Amino acid sequence: MKEEIEKAFIEKFGSGNFITITTPARANLIGEHIDYQGGYVLPIGVDRFIFTCGRERKDRSVKLFSFNYNQHFETTVDEIEYQKEYHWANYILGVLAEFKKMGYNLPGMEIAIGGNIPVGSGLSSSAAVEVSIAVLFQKIAGIEIEPIEVIKLARRAENEFVGVACGIMDQFSIYLSKKDNALLLNCKTLDYKYVPLRMGSHKFLLVDTKKERSLSSSVYNERVRSVNEAVNIIKKYEDIEFLTDVKDIHSYRDKLPYETYKRALHIFEENHRVLESVQSLEKGDIDGFGELMYLSHESLKDLYEVSCEELDFIVGFSKNFKEVKGARLTGAGMGGCCLVLLETSFIPYFISELASLYQNAFGKKPGAYDIQPVDGALYQNF
């Protein structure tokens, strides 16, 4: 697909030298909805990509082309504003706006962008776009910014320009993931380490519900508000910054509203599950890790309430087979993808059987992609 984006760039903007940036998707193995509460997460870079082609212009025009949407958008470096009609452009413009705030002199640019990360799948295509633009600008400007600063900048673009209250995991893993490793990230301190994935005869499969995630951003922002409410209440009793700092969440059962307590309980327990998962992976205990995946999904379904009928169907189906070790929603939820850990040889049968039953239940076939952990944008492009 990279060649298609490069060809489109030449067709839209003409021949001549340009830069191509490769940025992976991400899947979170475990640790969902806790990055914005300073928790531990365990993502991987995934071999689905955003490809961004770009170069500097001599004038102050910013000309954008989306391959996937087949849309053009044009503005100038002096008029970088939120676009209601061109939502895809905001992930690009937001990053450029952040560089501008930091005092960098923005040149005119022409950029073509596209990829094979399914939009709305929960694989963080938006963060991949943000990171790709941050890398592209560094290349065009001939600068190299510290990785943590690039990650923070890309996150600010989504928080402040696009208006989604995401944590830092997506941008972090997309930039710094490593082939054949998971990345254990402490979202409070930003300390991280790589955890080798010794998968043996097992693989991760992403199953795409193909469900429109139209409510995901509103539900996501509501969950963020709910856990912030829990933090503010608990601060009266404990010196904490995040729910993951709480010594024992169970002691606050009667002090928090019922729904708020459920959200807080998920975050507390999920944080511990991530650390248990790392221990399982380091021991090569695939069964133990798979069981923690199932527990994570149940918590996201019952306590955090961000699952949906389609995701629950896939997880329930997975539990019928000893060849499947674990399954859980990955991403924000309310649709998107389910991550399944299973024996490699069982994948064709699993996909075939699931597709038939899913079609009967929901009137459409799910997508299915077996995935490889790949290098992040830093290692792909520098």
As beta bridge partners, residue 367 has 208
pLDDT tier, 382 (very low <50, low <70, confident <90, very high otherwise): confident
Q: Taking a C-beta distance cutoff of 8 angstroms, is the pair 315, 338 a contact? A: yes
Q: Within 13 Å of residue 279, how many CA atoms lie on the same side as its CB? A: 7
Q: Active-site residue among 47, 78, 170, 248? A: 170
Cα Rg of the chain (Å, integer)? 21
Contact predicate 90/83, CB 8 Å? yes
Phi, psi of 24 (to 5 degrees): -80, 165
Paired tokens of 46: 């995934």
CATH 3.30.70.890, the chain: domain bounds: 202-374
pLDDT value, residue 300: 99
Note the pLDDT of residue 212. Answer: 75
Higher model confidence: residue 348 or residue 166? 348
Q: According to CATH, where is 3.30.230.10 located in the chain?
A: 2-196
What pLDDT, in 10s, does the model give residues 230-275? 999 999 999 999 999 999 999 999 999 999 999 999 999 999 999 9
H or E element that contains 202: strand 202-208
Per DSSP, 308 falls in state: -
pLDDT of residue 122: 74
Neighbours of 8 (CB within 10 A): 19
Burial class for 316, CB neighbours closer than 10 Å (0-12, 13-18, 19+): exposed
Element (H, E) at 261: helix 258-283
Return the CATH number of the domain spanning residue range 202-374: 3.30.70.890
Domain 2-196, CATH number (from 3.30.1360.20, 3.30.230.10, 3.40.50.300, 3.40.50.2020): 3.30.230.10
**CA torsion, points 173, 207, 202, 345, in degrees to nearest 10?**
-150
- Over 60: is that where the pLDDT of 215 sits? no
Catalytic residue flag (residue 208) = no
Could you tell me the two tokens for 194?
């790589």
Q: How confident is the model at residue 44 (pLDDT cuts 50, 70, 90)?
A: very high
CA distance 2 to 50: 9
- What's the rounded Cα separation, in Å, for the pair 93 and 209? 30
Of 44, 64, 73, the residue nearest 203 (C-alpha):
44
What's the pTM value of the predicted model, to 2 decimals? 0.93
| C-beta atoms surrounding 151 within 10 Å | 26
Give 107-165 pLDDT, tens digit per residue: 999 999 999 987 777 778 999 999 999 999 999 999 999 999 999 999 999 999 998 87
